[in-house]
Amino acid sequence: METQGEGWTEITPSGITQPYRQRLFRRCYAGLVLLACLAGGGVLVGRALTGSLSYYLTPTALLAGGAAHQAWAVTPCHLGGLVVAGSIQHGADGVVAFTLTDGHASVPVRYQGPIPDLFHEGSGAIVTGQWHCLPQRGSAGAKGPCQFMARELLAKHDERYQPPAMTDRQPGSKRNAAPSAPLPLATPHHG
């Protein structure tokens, strides 16, 4: 065994010096702390994304039935589809009724609130609300007509949409055509 003094370190039976063992312990401890922080951060990011991601159902999925079908009566959900041509009806009380379809199934929707400018027949729309079935008259427990009661309406724009400024710059655009008369040149005013 070596003596411990200035410049000397104690050698343990395993042959590892004491300062090396301390550095190794500190590095392992720092690595575990870093790993715990990364795991905690990952959990926080995962929870934040889960709450902010908005999936929407199609009319086919909403009408599929079963326990999920009944859950939409109490749990708000997003429903997306195309507005059926001829289905938009504006009521005197400000309620707008229309039908959303995904090509396989259709769902009647009622909404009261501001209507987006891009909302029209044949356009895509996403509504947030709940699925309601009215009780059928004369039959206990039987369900009558069902409709989606929306509290929010979002209109989807065409993925080919370009602002007018971009359309002006494209070749073949009517706005990009040469003017029929030359434009006057501005002359500087002196004095």
Mean of per-residue pLDDT scores for the chain: 75
Confidence check: pLDDT of 183 > 60: no
Confidence check: pLDDT of 17 > 80: no
Question: Quick one: which of 78, 128, 87 has its CA closest to 106?
Answer: 87
Please tell me whether 161 is known to bind a ligand. Answer: yes
Paired sense of beta strands 95-101 and 77-83, if any: antiparallel
pLDDT in tens, 44-96: 887 777 655 667 888 888 888 655 556 666 678 889 999 999 999 999 888 99
**What topology is assigned to 59-156 in CATH?**
OB fold (Dihydrolipoamide Acetyltransferase, E2P) (2.40.50)
pLDDT in tens, 123-148: 899 999 988 877 766 666 556 678 89
Within 10 A of 184 (CB to CB), how many other CB atoms are there?
6
Please tell me whether 55 is known to bind a ligand. Answer: no
The rounded distance, in Å, linking the Cα atoms of 111 and 161 is 26
Instruction: Estimate to the nearest angstrom the gap between the alpha carbon of 36 and the chain centroid.
Output: 30
Residue 152, C-beta contacts closer than 8 angstroms, at least 6 positions apart:
113, 127, 128, 129
pTM of the model: 0.54
Asked if residues 55 and 77 have their Cβ atoms less than 8 Å apart, the reply is no
